[in-house]
Amino acid sequence: MSKAKPPFTSESPLYILGAGAIGSLWASYGYQAGANIRLLLRNQATVNNYKKQGGISLIRANQALLSPVPADCPQSISSPIQHLLITTKAQQTLSALMAIKPHIADKAVLVLLQNGLGIAEQIRHEFPQATVLQGSTTEGCYRQTDFEFVHAGHGDTFIGTVNSNNKTDLAVVAQLAASLSFPPLMVSVSDNIEAVLWRKLAVNCVINPLTVIHRCRNGELLNTPETITQMRQIVDEILHLSTALNRDHWLEDLHEHVINIAKATADNRSSMLQDIEAGRETEIDAISGYLCRLAEEHNIKMPLNQQLLQDIKRISATN
């Protein structure tokens, strides 16, 4: 895809909601690329703390890059929000959006880049005139301190629109993808983003909760026959549901794919494990919870996924 000059101007900046790993990754590289980026933080106290740190510190190849990306809170937003990249945790998304709703333009473009499913439908209900795009990324990034992150590995990023054959819509998505491609981050258009998201959900339903249960890195799931068997059984349940939903063709070679992802991210601590270790709420409801709700609607039994859902909720509640 050809690289286009970012359209984000002083009158229409790119706002990023969610200053976690992925949001900060895009904010940092966007700022370095010269795009007009503005972070949206929770409140003025968080903004003040951020400013004391001097901006986002991003470590890549053992070198730190400081990006003093301008930051706002809901009370200090001065420009109407025309373009919004949403990278919050799934369970925090709606409340974070409602806090800035008065500032979001009616026909804004909202790009959702987070784990889990089910949130986009809620956003479309609250913002019926907005263009809501969904995305998926495998960029590896993790937090060290509040505003210090490590870009640990490159991945693939896709955005797309659900149930749209409109060529104008596709052209808009392609232009936006190019505009969000801040080197070394590259964003591509998927003509079937639902398949991309479903495949990622399947992987997350296997790796994320199991790394919490066994308190291990991703690759360590491949070290024992017990965990390998668990992975296979969980995949089997997901494939059974996918067949009932006529989505099994989206999950070709899923067993092998999950194993390959665990190998490729062997040293990573899953985001769910990091949340548990930090005492934060996890995204389990938008991952395993979403899957189990679909299964219940279609009268499909998924005992292992249901057990993982309950176990993670219990661990989170007692953490």
Q: Give the amino acid at 266.
A: A
From residue 198, give the alpha-carbon distance in Å to each of 57, 74, 209, 298.
32, 32, 17, 17
d(CA 173, CA 135): 11
What is the dihedral sign for C-alpha 60, 64, 70, 72? Answer: positive
Q: Among the options 200, 263, 301, 313, which is catalytic?
A: 200
d(CA 123, CA 90): 11
From residue 102, give the alpha-carbon distance in Å to each of 78, 240, 247, 319.
11, 43, 38, 36
C-alpha 149, offset from chain centre: 16
| Listed residue (285, 315, 143, 116) closest to 214, CA to CA | 315
Q: Which helix H or strand E contains 103, and what residues bound it? A: none
Burial status of residue 294 (CB atoms within 10 A of its CB: 0-12, 13-18, 19 or more): middle
Q: Does the bond joining 70 to the residue before it have cis omega, within 30 degrees of 0?
A: no
Residue 263 is a catalytic residue: no
From residue 292, give the alpha-carbon distance in Å to each of 13, 55, 128, 263, 267.
39, 40, 27, 26, 29
Tokens 């809170």 label which residue? 73
Q: What is the set of active-site residues?
A: 200
